[in-house]
Amino acid sequence: MKPRGRPRLPQQSVVFNLKLRLRPGVDDDLIAFFNQVPPRYRAGAAKAAMRSGSLAATELVDLPADETMADALGGLLL
């Protein structure tokens, strides 16, 4: 019997699970964007939107150090 479906790709995929919580009034542009895309096409639309942006030029320089975050979380948990 012939195999069904798409043939397997030669390389393994890297999977990132992502869930967005968008707030009306704050994220109206993103809500409108995702509302115009059918549900099964949203991952592709998000990839296209990220590729058309300036992600390559984005630097994460204002993020706190891991140690600072660990100390802050430790203070919350005690």
**Cα–Cα distance between 14 and 6 in angstroms, integer?**
18
pLDDT score of 28 = 93
Q: What is the pTM of this model?
A: 0.56
| Tokens, residue 28 | 């109206």
Range of the domain at 26: 17-54
Contact assessment for residue 66 and residue 73, using Cβ atoms and an 8 Å cutoff: no
Tell whether 6 is covered by a domain: no
Tell whether 33 is covered by a domain: yes
| Tokens, residue 50 | 């990220």
* Average predicted confidence (pLDDT) for the chain: 83
Residue 24 — very low, low, confident or very high, per pLDDT cuts 50/70/90?
A: very high
Q: How many angstroms separate the first and last alpha carbons of the chain?
A: 61
How many domains does the chain fold into? 1
Q: With 60 as the cut, is the pLDDT of residue 58 above it?
A: no
